[in-house]
A and B are shown apart, each in its own frame.
Chain A
Amino acid sequence: MKNNKPNRGLALMQRLALAPYSVWSVLFIVVPLLFIAYYAFTDSAFHFTTDNITRFFTATSEVADGDGVKLVRTYLVIFWRSLRLAVISTLICLVLGYPFAYLISRAKPKTQGILITLIMIPMWMNFLIRTYAWMTILQDTGILNGLLGLVHLGRVHIIGTESAVVIGMVYDYFPYMILPIYSVMTKMDVRLIEAAHDLGCSGAGVLRRVIWPLSLPGVISGITMVLIPSISTFYISQKLGNGKFYLIGDAIESQYVANNLHFAAAIAFILMVILLISMAFMQRAANKRASV
């Protein structure tokens, strides 16, 4: 009974302390989400409609196919392309980032600090500037081809290809893959690795049976943090892909610019639902693995 009063006081204090954050999240997260959903399911006169949603799945356009033309579902094609490029970029980030994160986590603390800072520095620069920098590197008369010419390796045509878009995405989102994996790996108990060696594992065995499964939470958050922004990216494809690879982010942007707010909201809404579902699946798969 005696304890009741101070406890209640403490609980009240806690609630008060949390209040600004609650207000913040309602104001800037929940309300905007509701607006998106509201716009997605209404027409320009704000009457309920599912037209915007169905338009995403049914709108068609003609594309050149050999001599003739063929009819495709516009937004599904765009979505599929975005997904494909995002998955490729994410995989490249993972394949490059995982060993790198491991090596950093095994370096001396001082070296670790320097390397992590170096990885983060590009993030402090505006991403438009980074993208323009890649344009000058990848152009047909750009830095890359200049260097290749110097060593007589011939020229490559990259700008305006999917590869250029992927390079841009990998560069931009690489730190988001490394950091979560690195942070899991630095916390890993070195004795577990020693124990695995002791119990008969070679280097590859230790990696496969101990380091990889224990770093999985970092891998999953790395994948999430790269896949989601890269699937909805828009500017990179316009600049590095010469606008040839219209992505879902570009679609949202152009609908918005054209003042089709309701359809832009619908695309955003659908993208969000798909991402939420796939994230839920990934989390479940990870939990399942962790509990085995």
Chain B
Amino acid sequence: MNKIIELKNISKSFDGEMVLNNINLDIYDNEFLTLLGPSGCGKTTTLRIIGGFETADVGDVVFMGERINDLPPHKRHVNTIFQRYALFPHLNVFENVAFPLREQRVNKNEIKERVTEMLKMVALTGFEKRSVTSLSGGQQQRVAIARALISRPKVLLLDEPLAALDLKLRKDMQQELKNIQKAMGITFIFVTHDQEEALSMSDTVVVMSEGQIQQIGTPIDIYNEPKNAFVADFIGESNILDGVMLQDYRVSFSGHEFECVDAGFGLREPVDVVVRPEDVDIVPEEKGMLRGEVTSVTFLGVHYEIIVDINGFKWMIQTTDYEEVGAHIGLYIEPEAIHIMKKSEYSGMFGDYSSFSMELDELSDAESELGE
């Protein structure tokens, strides 16, 4: 695969506050790459630097082998779909989509042909004369896609494009965007704070926090092999525990020794241990590797979310079996379900569900008081 964009040592500050700190990222041809992180992590700024709307203080942006730091947006073969779409309110649907072609002085017949074809692709045939302000959110989204793709850019930048849509429409658009990306064979760089969206759409996920890249990988890598507590917590739910690596393939946490599949750590090295809530099996108390008391149960449709107190640490467990609050249960964890991470600046900040259960505790306390 060919590199299409390279970000090299990019740093950027606004008013003395560092928003990007030494970003290095290679983006490949035909790749669906997602910049994922909480608000303020620098993902949108990264996108705007690629689009040419911001300039990096330090570092280079390279496009197909050429440094483009100082190239203005209109000269880059990169188009953007903006948050809330930024459609031109004074132009109708046809003219919005035709906008880039008119600038390139494409002849009238070709404009008509290409716009018609593009509107067909986004299922907006017949909407040509409509005012963009009269369209629904989903339709505006489609106009924005058509407008951004009509001049056949090499790379499409998408800045949280689905954030304004309701859940069902968002799911549909996710699929549609993915299809369009495959059909057109161009690179998509997608910015979102929604981890589910990132996992379901991307070839590559770039997890960002505090202006730095935390991890780059496929969705499966990112989920199964998070590099640190931040990634483990941000992507999906995780129980993150303090552990000690006893030797290769053996780790101790929660007062118990476990077999695991990770190796290469120092002897007795303190580590962060990740156990995903869906990877924990509930067994009778006497058969469990760990034992604890159920403190809350939430029904979520497909499964129950159970909070279990084990030696003061609150675990989250997702299970299809119902357990009563107050029940004493045992936990069984397979070696494959245990993921070991090096300690990082994020250790100890995430992965404990005590705050989560505390509210529920208070609620149940209130209930039992009423009962008395």
> Interface of A with B (CB < 8 Å)?
189, 191-192, 194-202, 205, 209-210, 213-214, 290-292
Contact = CB atoms under 8 A, between A and B. Distances in A.
A170 B80 CA distance: 43
B14 interface: no
Given A194-B82, A198-B80, A200-B74, A290 B103 contact: no
Interface in B70-123: 72-74, 78-80, 82-84, 86-90, 92, 99-100, 102-104
Contacts of B276: none
Contact of A214 (B53, B90, B102): B90
Interface of B: 51-53, 72-74, 78-80, 82-84, 86-90, 92, 99-100, 102-104, 131, 147-148, 151
Contact of B73 (A191, A197, A210): A197
Contacts of B103: 199-201, 205, 209
Contacts, number: 65
A192 B80 contact: no
Q: Which 10 A-B pairs have the closest CB atoms?
A: A191-B86, A195-B86, A199-B100, A200-B103, A197-B73, A213-B90, A200-B100, A198-B80, A200-B74, A198-B73
Contacts of A213: 90
Contacts of A292: 90, 92
Contacts of A209: 99, 102-103
Contacts of A201: 74, 103
Contact of B99 (A194, A199, A202, A290): A199
Contacts of A290: 90
A12 to B, nearest CB: 36
Given A209-B99, A214-B89, A198 B74 contact: yes
Contact of B82 (A195, A200, A205, A291): A195
Contacts of B90: 213-214, 290, 292
Interface centre among B52, B74, B104 (most CB of A within 10 A): B74
Contacts of B99: 196, 199, 209
With a 10 A CB-CB cut-off, give which of A189, A191, A196, A200 has the most chain B CB atoms: A200
A198 B72 CA distance: 9
21 contacts: A189-B86, A191-B82, A191-B86, A192-B88, A194-B53, A194-B86, A195-B82, A195-B88, A197-B73, A197-B74, A198-B52, A198-B73, A198-B80, A199-B79, A199-B100, A199-B148, A201-B74, A202-B74, A210-B88, A214-B88, A292-B92
Given A200-B104, A201-B103, A192 B86 contact: yes
Taking chain A's interface residues, is the majority helix, strand, or loop, or is none over half, making it mixed? helix
B77 to A, nearest CB: 10
A200 B51 CA distance: 12
Contacts of B151: 199-200
Interface centre among A196, A199, A214, A292, by most chain B C-beta atoms within 10 angstroms, is A199
Nearest to A213: B90
Contacts of A214: 88-90
Contacts of B79: 198-199
A209 B84 CA distance: 20
Nearest to A291: B131
B164 to A, nearest CB: 13
A249 B64 CA distance: 68
A48 to B, nearest CB: 49
> Which of A196, A198, A200, A205 has the most chain B CB atoms closer than 10 A to its own CB?
A198
Contacts of A199: 74, 79, 99-100, 103, 147-148, 151
A250 to B, nearest CB: 41
A210 B90 CA distance: 8
B82 to A, nearest CB: 5
Contacts of A210: 88
Contacts of B73: 194, 197-198
Contacts of A291: 131
Contacts of B83: 191
